[in-house]
Amino acid sequence: MNIALAETDADIARCFPVMHQLRPHLVAADFVARVRRMQREGFRLAFLEEAGVVRAVAGYRYHEKLFSGKNLYVDDLVTDPAARSRGHGRALLAWLLEQARVQGCDNFELDSGVQRAQAHRFYFRERMHVSAYHFVRPVNP
C-alpha cells in the first residue's frame, strides 16, 4: 500500500471513481477543476493505492477554532466497497492522524452522515467519539 497526495490532474482524476461512491452528486468532468479550486483554499486530497489501483481517498484541510485549537478536518473519507475490510481505511486514517501530529494539531475531526452506520462503527473502533451535533440550513430554500 502506498499513500500520497493527489497533486497532478491525473492523480486527482484517478481518485474520482472512489470519491464518487461517497459523493454521487459529483460529475467526473468537473472533478479536477473543483478540487483545484478547493486546493487554493487549503484542501488536500490523499489517496491510498495498492497494485496501482486507488482503493481509498480522503479530502482534508487544516483550520483553527477558538474552542478547539488547531484541527485537521476530514471532509471526505471513503474506501472502495470492493476493497473494504482489508485495512485500507485504517491505514489511511492512521496516515491522516500522523499528518495532524506533524502539523501540531490539537484535534482530528470529521462529520459523518447520520445514515452511515457502518462508517460510524469503524470510527468508534478507531477510538473516535461523538462530540457535537452538526446543524445545517440551506441559504436559499
On the 0-12 / 13-18 / 19+ scale of CB atoms within 10 A, 47 is: buried
CA 68 to CA 47: how far, in whole Å? 27
- Flag whether the pTM goes above 0.75: yes
In the 3-class helix/strand/coil scheme, how is 106-131 assigned residue by residue? CEEEECCCCCCHHHHHHHHHCCCCCC
> In this structure, is residue 133 part of a structural domain?
no
Give a yes or no: residue 86 inside a domain: yes
Q: What is the mean pLDDT of the chain?
A: 91
The CATH number for 96's domain is 3.40.630.30
- Within a domain: residue 130? no
Beta strands in 6-87 (DSSP E): 44-50, 53-65, 69-79
Whole-number pLDDT of residue 132: 78
Residue-level pLDDT at 46 = 98
Domain assignment of residue 136, yes or no: no
87 within a domain of the structure (yes/no)? yes
Residue 42 CA to residue 116 CA, distance in Å, equals 26
Residue range 92-121, pLDDT digits in tens:
999 999 999 999 999 999 877 767 767 777
**Over residues 122-127, mean pLDDT:** 77
Is 75 a member of any domain? yes
Contact 72, 103 (CB under 8 A): yes
User: How many distinct structural domains can be found in the chain?
Assistant: 1
Share of the chain above pLDDT 70, in %: 98
Identify the domain containing residue 118 by its residue range. 2-125
**pLDDT score recorded for residue 70:** 96
